[in-house]
Amino acid sequence: MLTTITEGILCCLTGKAASLVLPLESSEPSDGFEFVEVKPGRVLRVRHIIPERPVVTEDQVAGKGNTDGTDDDVEGSLEEDNESNTGSSVHCKRKITVYRNGQLVIENLGDVLHSEILQCQDGDLEPCSTVEVELADYKEMPSSPDPNSAPPPVPSPLGEHKPAPPPRRRRRKPKRTVQIDSKRVISSCKGTHSDVALFFVHGVGGSLDIWGSQLDFFSRLGYEVIAPDLAGHGASTAPHIAAAYTFYALAEDLRAIFKRYARKRNILIGHSYGVSFCTFLAHEYPDLVHKVVMINGGGPTALEPSLCSIFQLPSCVLHCLTPCLAWSFLKAGFARQGAKEKQLLKQGNAFNVSPFVLRAMMSGQYWPEGDEVYHAELTVPILLVHGMCDKFVPMDEDQRMAEILLFAFLKVIEEGSHMVMMECPDTVNTLLHEFFLWEPDMSRKASSKTDMALTDSLHTLKINKPVDK
């Protein structure tokens, strides 16, 4: 800690930032690591693992020159790839209306299995439903009474209370109306499918190393996985310009990574701040994004720069406070703070960024377009994973997100916190894998047991909130 304080004092005296994160020295990609130049002088480290699959030649497809019985294997793999392209065609028709008083009305008009995909358990079709929420803080009550509300009932002389007349509804003019009418095919994604790719995006202060358990697990199952380091994080370059860490700059970096490695069906997995980038890509490329996983992302409010006073301090002062910030992150990011968690934090290379990058990241979180309407326009299936002990993102925000989204599964892990994928890797991996293999059954005659296979399997891993003693 004394060394850190000394470097911070020298930083103040010289006016230069200390300990910038620079790329690791590597002559060529090894162990699945690649360095991609998204812009001139802006290089990101990417871990790209391609599973080993048998190479199919034209002669094998035609059935020529094979006498050892490999034709059946080739045909089986080709049939499996063809099956991966077929799935349930879901019709999503939605009307989103925003009023001037901050009211948001979402009307589901299509023939989506709304009751089965969302909260209902009866398995009946619910083609039409309406969700009405407030754009402002939904916990706050109006400070002044509503002038259009019905007057209180007046007691009669005999002591009888007559019911108040129903309030008169005034036709309001909407401020904004969004119409969604689209069809998408939702199918299961297995590791043997060559047209499937998994993208893992970390948050502020993290790196691709926090996904170590997930990358190893899914690559062993045959999935193609891609995990980048954001600018200034891990082994990516760290420009000493605050504008390089705004949401839009980082989003363009990930857009370049996505366009480089994208397959026909892509699944995005984001954590914390990384969830916003996954939402951005899902909105920009609806035909390429197949499913999305949001881990402790919160929302769905628009992003704003952090107003925390500690991140407004000079970089040299933040450098002196780095040990305290790391300890605070360990205490708030993990449910337990033992030797195992400290080792996970060290192995995951988490919170190992320069004070300048940390300050620029927190100040650059400005994304006004990512509001409730932006999230309500998503028609892709989404799995929400929340750690019960998370001190950064409250449960209310993920519940709010589940209300806004059309296809949403909200799963809670009791023993997990903000870094739940590192604390409970087996549970998270099982949840994600079940979600990847899930495919909706659109038949009206299907029973709830067969059509809710994913929900049943995921509920076995969901633990109820403990009762306060």
| pTM of the shown model | 0.76
For CA atoms 234, 240, 246, 252, the dihedral sign is negative
CB proximity list for 163: less than 8 A, separation 6 or greater: 153
Which residues belong to the active site? 272, 390, 418
Q: How far apart are CA 198 and CA 49, in angstroms?
A: 10
Look at residue 57 in the predicted model and tell me its pLDDT. 44
- Distance between CA atoms of residues 406 and 361, nearest Å: 30
pLDDT along the chain (469 residues), means of 10: 37 39 39 91 96 59 44 44 65 89 85 47 46 49 41 51 59 85 92 96 94 96 97 94 96 98 98 97 97 95 78 62 64 78 72 84 93 94 96 93 93 94 96 95 51 47 39
Pairing type for strands 176-186 and 88-98 reads antiparallel
- Residue 56 neighbours by CB distance under 10 Å: 14
- The answer to whether 246 and 220 have CB atoms below 8 angstroms apart is no
Going by C-beta distance under 8 Å and a sequence separation of 6 or more, which residues neighbour residue 353?
21, 205, 232, 233, 238, 361
String of b and e for 365-404 (b: at least 16 CB within 10 Å)? bebeebbbbbbbbbbbbbbbbbbbbbebbeeebbebbbbb
**Which two three-digit tokens encode residue 24?**
């690791």
213 Rama sector, left if φ>0, alpha if ψ -120 to 50, beta otherwise: alpha
Domains and CATH numbers, the chain: 185-438 (3.40.50.1820)
Burial class of residue 417, CB neighbours in 10 A (0-12, 13-18, 19+): buried
CB-based contact 319:20 (threshold 8 Å) = no
DSSP letter at 185 equals E
DSSP 68-133: SS-HHHHHHHHHHHHHHH--EEEEEEEEEEE-TTSEEEEEE-S---HHHHSS--S------EEEEE
How many residues does this entry show for the chain? 469
Which pair of structure tokens corresponds to residue 341? 């968690």
CA–CA gap between residue 122 and residue 116 (Å, rounded): 8
Q: What pLDDT is recorded for position 307? A: 63
The position carrying tokens 């590192």 is: 422
Closest by Cα among 215, 397, 188 to 296: 397
Distance CA 272, CA 329 (A): 13
| Largest distance between two CA atoms of the chain | 101
C-alpha pair distances (Å), 231 with each of 28, 162, 352: 20, 66, 13
Distance between CA atoms of 205 and 354, rounded to whole angstroms? 9
CA distance 419 to 335: 9
Written as one letter, the residue type at 100 is R
Beta bridge partners of 224: 197
Which residues are within 8 A (CB) of 417 and not within 5 positions of it... i.e. 6 or more apart? 332, 333, 334, 335, 387, 388, 389, 390, 391, 423
- Cα separation, 215 vs 391, whole angstroms: 26
- Strands 382-387, 289-295: pairing kind: parallel
CB 51 within 8 A of CB 195: no
What CA–CA distance (Å, rounded) separates 446 from 440?
11
The CB density around residue 131, as the number of other CB atoms within 10 Å, is: 16
Give bridge partners of residue 179 from the DSSP assignment: 95
Label the pairing between strands 33-39 and 42-49: antiparallel
Would you tell me the crossing angle of helices 425-437 and 212-220 to the nearest 10 degrees?
Answer: 50
Of 327, 317, 331, nearest to 391 by C-alpha is 331
Angle at the Cα of 277 from the Cα atoms of 273 and 282, rounded to 5 degrees: 140
